[in-house]
Amino acid sequence: MTSTTHEETAAQHPAVFRRVVVCGALADVCASPDRDLVRNGIDLVARASCAEMLVALHEDAPDAVLVPAQASSGSLAEVIDVVHRWASIPVLVGIHPGEPGRGDAERALDAGANSLVTLPVTAEELRRALAGLGFAAHASTQTVQVGRLRVDAVAHRALLDELEIGLTHREFSILHFLAARSPRHVPAGDIARQFSPSADPDAAARAVRVTIGSIRAKLARTADHGDAVIQTVRGVGYRVNA
């Protein structure tokens, strides 16, 4: 039997995901399958156009956006400026390899792009680009503190009011995922897509709800009002508000 190292397990089950919204079809932008994206801690969401992406910035709550240099029918500089002003998040611009992309690269940098990636980008390349923007190269090295709750992915410990919560690996991963995105709401379907990418979406979302119920029960047993740490907004999703 082949043993699985701690590093391999962490790579297969990242504790925190970075959401990147892209303009255009995922197949045109990304060269990696969903499973590789999951292993690299990336939640890639497609919007059909730059205009649709801008309208949905608040709803999607991305950590960064990826705009192909040729995707904008208007001014690339305007798109970048709006993202910076409305969401205060980095803009990665995708360019084509070789000589055709040189002009696009110069135009993107002049327009205020935070980083350039060559299309189609792989999950590993995208992870490195995000790391270059200041995002952790491996989410599993992060400790997240939200009020009374601290989730330490290095030690694999979660504490509420300094009292340790006994969680399974899946429960810990989901709690860390929610805490890292606080105060944003995360739909059950989004959580399911990260941790069960190959499962039936409806069944996986139901499993997420059951897991969150189990986490709430353990939070309640650990400290007073612990069951209120994970809040639910019907039709929107879950968030940590400790």
Over the stretch 31-41, which tens digit does the pLDDT of each residue have? 988 778 877 88
Residue 7 lies in a domain: no
The CATH number given to whatever domain includes residue 190 is 1.10.10.10
In a domain, 1, yes or no: no
Give domain status of residue 158, yes or no.
yes
Q: Is 9 inside a domain boundary? A: no
Q: Is the pLDDT of residue 236 over 60?
A: yes
pLDDT of residue 70: 80
- How many Å apart are CA 67 and CA 23, to the nearest integer? 5
Into how many domains does the chain fold?
2
pLDDT above 60: residue 199: yes
> What is the distance in angstroms between the CA of the first residue and the CA of the last residue of the chain?
42
Domain encompassing residue 190? 142-240
User: 72 falls in which pLDDT band (50, 70, 90)?
Assistant: low
Name the more confident of 229 and 12: 229
Q: Which of 6-10, 125-129, 155-159 has the lowest mean pLDDT?
A: 6-10
Is the pLDDT confidence value at 10 over 60? no
Last residue of a domain, one of 105, 132, 159: 132
d(CA 123, CA 156): 25
Structure token digits, residue 63? 């950590």
Average pLDDT of the residues of the chain = 82
**What's the pLDDT score for residue 164?**
93
pLDDT at 115 over 70: yes
pLDDT of residue 74: 58
Asked whether residue 202 is domain-assigned, the answer is yes
Residue 28: CB atoms within 10 Å: 14
Instruction: Assign residue 29 the CATH number of its domain.
Output: 3.40.50.2300
Specify whether 31 is located in the same domain as 118: yes
**Among 75, 100, 132, which residue terminates a domain?**
132
For residue 115, which of 99, 127, 226 has the smallest C-alpha distance? 127
SS (H, E, C) the chain: CCCCCHHHHHHHCCCCCEEEEEECCHHHHECCCHHHHHHCCEEEEEECCHHHHHHCHHHHCCCEEEEECCCCCCCHHHHHHHHHHHHCCCEEEEECCCCHHHHHHHHHHHHCCCEEEECCECHHHHHHHHHHCCCCCCHHHCEEEECCEEEECCCCEEEECCEECCCCHHHHHHHHHHHHCCCCCECHHHHHHHHCCCCCHHHHHHHHHHHHHHHHHHHHHHCCCHHHCEEEECCCEEEECC
Model confidence over 45-63: pLDDT tens digits? Answer: 899 989 999 988 877 778 8
**Residue 14's pLDDT is what?**
52
Do 183 and 222 belong to one domain? yes
User: CA 79 to CA 230: how far, in whole Å?
Assistant: 35
- Are residues 148 and 210 located together in one domain of the fold? yes
Share of the chain above pLDDT 90, in %: 30
